[in-house]
Amino acid sequence: MGNPLGRYLLTLSRLWGTSLAMQFEYQANLLLEVVAAVANLLGSLLLLSLFYGGGRALGGWSWPQALVVLGVYTLLEGITSTWLRPNLSTIVGHVQQGTLDFVLLKPIDSQFWLSTSRISLMGLPEIATGLGLMIWAAGQAGIRITPWLMIQTLLMLVASGLLLYSLWFLVSTTSIWFVKTWNATEVLRAALSSGRYPISAFPTAVRRFFTIVLPVAFLTTVPAEAMLGRLTLPWLLLSLMVACIGLALSRAFWQFALRFYTSASS
């Protein structure tokens, strides 16, 4: 038990074990979630197809190429339901009821605890359909999947997942001040829904916004470019850098926010 990494891993396995045990109480939910994943995918396909009638293309992306972007988006949605929402949506409740005190007193990093203590099976159908769509659509686009391509894509997906986490965590942290902002993450989710489409489908000003201010481009378009084998090295490095900056920011912002936490009813 002397080694901190071992301690963290052991805690994590216990937490996830109880989390999963709790989920199996509600099996009907999981079935509905499969239906929801399929319906969501059909809806997204329908919407995307509206831009492709009559031989038109969307922002210079062919139909199978745009499907890769949609696959990445679906995968990220799944990650959100499996990992981000179950954890980060509890922060606001902790602040409101004052139970954040207990989290802060635990002999474990508070950001780690709040970000990882739960895991949900709800996103698995979407993770599976997202990955499936990515691979299938890349095949349709004439891409031969080489090991190097896979490494690249995986790396970009990890970077995109970490960036997504940072955004969620930054937004959830604001509840230290605003207490009842359950909807802050809904705003983020609505904004991120722009990631269903390749970034070049947007007008220039909007494109800049979604690259620099709210880095949606790095969430879905960049991993899709990697999967299609046309990601240049500068973009790969930039994407990794953005993810690191996001993580560092989320860390710094959490520690800054804690200085303002005064516990409930005090």
Partner 1 sequence: MRNTAFSSRAVSSRALRSPKVRPLQSLQHGWRVARALFASQYALMLEYRAEIVLWALAGMVPFIMLAIWIESPAGAALGMGPTQLARYFLAAFVVRQFTVAWVMTVFEEDALQGRLSPMLLQPLHPFWRYLASHVAEQATRLPFVALIATLFFLVLPWAFWLPTPQRALLTLAATFLAFVLNFLIQCTMACMCFWSDRVNALERLIYIPILFLSGTAAPLDAFPPALRRLAEATPFPLLVNFPAQLLSGGEVQIAAGFTALAIWITGLFLLMTLLWRIGVKRYGAMGA
Q: Write out the residues near partner 1 by the rule CB under 8 A.
A: 26, 28-29, 32-33, 35-36, 39-40, 43-44, 46-47, 50-54, 56, 58-59, 122, 178, 180-184, 186-187, 189-191, 193-194, 197, 201-203, 206
CA distance 42 to 209: 28
Contact 156, 222 (CB under 8 A): yes
Contact 41, 129 (CB under 8 A): yes
Residue closer to partner 1, measured from CB, 84 or 143: 84
Residue closer to partner 1, measured from CB, 21 or 105: 21
> Closest distance between partner 1 and the C-beta of residue 40, in Å?
6
- CA-nearest of 169, 192, 191, 166 to 72 is 192
CA distance 179 to 204: 36
> Closest distance between partner 1 and the C-beta of residue 59, in Å?
7
Assign 3-class secondary structure to 52-69. Answer: CHHHCCECCECHHHHHHH
Residue closer to partner 1, measured from CB, 175 or 250: 175
Residue 14, CA distances (Å) to 35, 82, 121, 134, 217 in order:
30, 17, 16, 33, 36
Residue closer to partner 1, measured from CB, 147 or 203: 203
Residue closer to partner 1, measured from CB, 67 or 159: 67
> Closest distance between partner 1 and the C-beta of residue 108, in Å?
29
Contact 157, 220 (CB under 8 A): no
Residue closer to partner 1, measured from CB, 43 or 142: 43
> Closest distance between partner 1 and the C-beta of residue 177, in Å?
10
Question: Which residues is 58 bridged to in the sheet?
Answer: 61
Residue 65, CA distances (Å) to 19, 41, 70, 132, 224 in order:
37, 16, 9, 14, 8
> Closest distance between partner 1 and the C-beta of residue 197, in Å?
6
> Closest distance between partner 1 and the C-beta of residue 180, in Å?
5
Residue 94 CB contacts under 8 Å (≥ 6 apart), including other chains: 100, 103, 114
> Closest distance between partner 1 and the C-beta of residue 232, in Å?
24
Dihedral of CA 208/64/136/46: which sign?
A: positive
Residue closer to partner 1, measured from CB, 8 or 51: 51
